[in-house]
Amino acid sequence: MKVYGLTGGVGMGKSTSDKLLRDRRLPVVDTDVIARQLVEPGQTALAEIQALFGADMVDVDGRLRRHELARLVFADATARQRLENILHPRIRVIWQKQIETWRAEGQPKAVVVIPLLFETKAEARFDAIICVACSGATQRRRLEARGWDRDQIEQRIRAQWPIEKKMELANYVIWTEGDMDTHATQLDRVVASAS
């Protein structure tokens, strides 16, 4: 089985790539989705986050106050590292189990979407790395469209490796400045090239 790691900068097209790959019936697991599941009410990771960052990180319904946590951890690298120490090992166990399941099923190809793939030193687990990228101006426009202010955007960008470094280390780069068809065509070529 050929296993791809898919990464890229925030707002650069990872979710779009995920959807396009799923539309092509490729098995995909997104570590951002895993992270959200790990902090659902009743999960051990949520209890650890609450113990570390304070009771006010959870609302009256027992749900993580994501905006508050993001505001804290993206302004403080030490706090962000503590959060990552809670989440990243759990996330890795889950996506690695998913790969083993796909392998047992005889899947020929699979993709794991990991925004911090290089930052978490996960590259050795993959046969090839795909990096989705766009210009900084396009990235900022996309993040503004999400309702993020300038400070939020800069904090998120600084929390990841520079996109140029990710592109240099990747086996394939998908440039997402164009339309959806161009994005899809690039992905199709990458996946088809490794039959």
The pLDDT tens digits of the residues spanning 77-89 come to 999 999 999 999 9
pTM of this prediction exceeds 0.85: yes
Residue with tokens 């120490």: 85
Summarised one tens digit per residue, pLDDT across range 98-137 is 999 999 999 999 999 999 999 999 999 999 999 999 999 9
- Here the tokens at position 31 are 């570590």
Number of folded domains that form the chain: 1
pLDDT bucket at 184, cuts 50 / 70 / 90: very high
Q: Which domain holds residue 36?
A: 2-193
In DSSP terms, 172 is beta-bridged to 130
- What is the spatial order of strands in the sheet that 109-113 belongs to? 28-30, 109-113, 2-8, 128-133, 172-175
Q: How many CB atoms lie within 10 A of CB 104?
A: 9
The fraction of the chain above a pLDDT of 90, given in percent, is 97
How far apart are the C-alpha atoms of 143 and 92, rounded to whole Å? 27
Using CA atoms, how far residue 31 sits from 18, 61, 74, 82, 83, in Å, is: 11, 25, 19, 18, 15
Q: What is the pLDDT of residue 56?
A: 92
What is the CATH classification number for the domain harbouring 117?
A: 3.40.50.300
Residue 194 banded pLDDT, cuts 50, 70, 90:
low
CA gap 33, 111 in Å, rounded: 14
CA distance 11 to 24: 22
Residue 195 has pLDDT above 90, yes or no: no
